[in-house]
Structure 1
Amino acid sequence: MSVITVAGLQLALPPNTNNFDTIASQVRSVKKRFPHLTLVMLSELATFGPAPRFAETLPGDMEEKYRTLATETDLWLITGSLFERADERVYNTASAISPQGEVVARYRKMFPFLPYEEGISAGEEACVFDIPGVGCFGLSICYDMWFPETIRALTWQGAEVILHPTLTNTVDRDVELSIAKASAATNQCYLFDVNAAAPMGVGKSIIAGPGGETLHQSGAEQDVMVMDIDMNYVRRVRETGWNSLGQPLKSFRDHPIDYPQYQAGARSGCLDNLGPLRKPGSKLA
């Protein structure tokens, strides 16, 4: 199968409450309207909002509800993310669930939005999964995208589509749109960057193609983004370049340099001199 249909749900959901019933209704509705739909993804922390008190172990009750919903609707589901409690820590974790209700991947956000996303631990592993007969998908969450290495790590593992739930309600959203497009172009992949609408987020979700082209950009209001994507298009762009232009993945593969910043134990005097990571205006204890 070369072409599949993916939906990103930019929903207007209240924070600090259980939104599962509303989300399930939206998932059922989009599947009913578009029976050929393959995958649905939510925004970051859509289910409860940014409230770590709702953290649960995984597997857990809420993930089980999403497993049942995936089976009922015959869809691949990306839960956006849930706060996961594990080993006395809390992680921001996205689950990928198959139409058979199997959790095929869990990804822990590697870059919590520090110093503001306090008390959330960082994940350590890039995460990809395969949809049989379709292709390879990578999971990324919100602030991860500000670190190019995270998307490149997914591409390195074979990801052709990056599923990137986010939760942004700040003035840097327009910058994130530029990062999403640049990440898609430099990694020659589709990138679904799905934000929440108000009151949790400012919307402006974007779907970018492997040339960095904007395939769809939402406004601030609730939006159900349904998009056909062609996996053969990604593969052709990687083989011959977007519009027969640059082939950055091949150049990255073939370049002999060992980047000094990635060597074990490497330090940067410039970065070390930036001082501690703390909120502006705060003082060290």
Structure 2
Amino acid sequence: MKSNFGIAGVQMAVSAFESNVEVIGNYLRHIRTRFPWVRMVMFSELAPLGPKHDRAEPIPGPAVARLSELARETGLWLIPGSLFERVEGPDGAVVYNTTPVIDPSGEVIACFRKLFPFRPYERGVEGGTEFCVFDVPDAGRIGVSICYDMWFPETTRTLAAMGAEVILHPTMTDTIDRDVELAIARASAAQNQVYFFDINGVGDGGVGRSIVCDPSGYVLHQADGGTEIIPIAVDFERVRRERECGLRNLGQPLKSFRDRNCDFPVYQKESHDFPYLGTLGPLTKPE
């Protein structure tokens, strides 16, 4: 089993008004040539088709079919950010914010639907219910979350408990709280002893400032506000060693979580032990 595995995050200029799929293809070809040791490439949230709901497509559909062709052409693992997925149902169409995971043969091996849409601002988008981890043969296990998901530490902890050693986190943040997200990304890496790739877009796709952190909580790279390719050599053996010996040979948070004495009734949705939460009012935009 190989210890090192190259992953490149792409902080790309995203257009809200036209498809970005062929731009993604150009980046894949460039990375294959410029960084031949990179085996996987990830993009920001909603990078392929932009942030407009009227571009929602089924999966499989035209955009994912083309992305699969590009992965097969370049021989790269592709996590193309996410796109709005339209699912027809008996009561009409439902839209999810979905990340497909495409292997080097062009097969979609997994799809992850964002668990926490950015409500009340991300309207008309349903939340997913399933977590997503997948195995890269002869390398390690990788988990996926999207944007607002990381504000809920339970999501990252669940992926780590499922064995994820790297978490790929496409985001589309164009607001003034990006500095807070940088802190959350670093904390997520340290608390769960994972590599954490938090890749934002620019232009219509965000304010940039992507960040990659290692399982000791160190920042491997933090981008500025322009387009950028961020190639990182992930060391899976380092993740396993640190989980065995402790973060910087100190705390072992995953083992401590496993061996805890307490339960967390706050996670039981029907619990009546926390009436305070009911006093917070409805989830609406502030007036």
User: With structure 1 as the length reference, what TM-score do the two structures score?
Assistant: 0.97
| CA deviation after TM superposition for structure 1 residue 234, in Å | 0.5
Matched, 1:178 2:179: no
Contact preservation (8 Å) 2:50, 2:204: no
| CA deviation after TM superposition for structure 1 residue 79, in Å | 1.4
Show the 5 A alignment for 1:54-133.
54-86=55-87, 87=89, 88-133=93-138
SS at match of 1:163: strand
Residue type of the alignment partner of 1:280: P
1:271 corresponds to which residue?
A: 277
**Structure 1 Cα separation of the partners of residues 269 and 20 of structure 2:** 44
**Structure 2 Cα separation of the partners of residues 130 and 16 of structure 1:** 35
1:38 corresponds to which residue?
A: 39
Alignment RMSD (CA, Å)? 0.9
| CA deviation after TM superposition for structure 1 residue 45, in Å | 0.2
1:191 corresponds to which residue?
A: 196
| CA deviation after TM superposition for structure 1 residue 17, in Å | 1.3
Contact preservation (8 Å) 2:189, 2:195: yes
Residue type of the alignment partner of 1:196: G
1:160 corresponds to which residue?
A: 165
Show the 5 A alignment for 1:124-143.
124-143=129-148
Contact preservation (8 Å) 2:115, 2:149: yes
SS at match of 1:191: strand
User: With structure 2 as the length reference, what TM-score do the two structures score?
Assistant: 0.96
- String of CA shifts for 1:88-127, please: whole Å, max 9, x gaps: 2000000111001111110000000000000000000111
SS at match of 1:8: strand
Contact preservation (8 Å) 2:46, 2:205: no
Residue type of the alignment partner of 1:33: R
| CA deviation after TM superposition for structure 1 residue 264, in Å | 5.3
- String of CA shifts for 1:55-106, please: whole Å, max 9, x gaps: 1111111101111111111100001001101132000000111001111110
Q: Aligned pairs, how many?
A: 281
**Structure 2 Cα separation of the partners of residues 144 and 153 of structure 1:** 12
Residue type of the alignment partner of 1:61: P
| CA deviation after TM superposition for structure 1 residue 243, in Å | 1.7
Residue type of the alignment partner of 2:230: M
Contact preservation (8 Å) 1:198, 1:220: no
231, 238, 245: which one aligns with 2:243: 238
1:25 corresponds to which residue?
A: 26
| CA deviation after TM superposition for structure 1 residue 20, in Å | 1.1
| CA deviation after TM superposition for structure 1 residue 13, in Å | 2.4
Ranges in structure 2 where 5+ consecutive residues have no aligned partner: none
Displaced runs of 4 or more, over 4 A? none
**Structure 1 Cα separation of the partners of residues 269 and 28 of structure 2:** 45
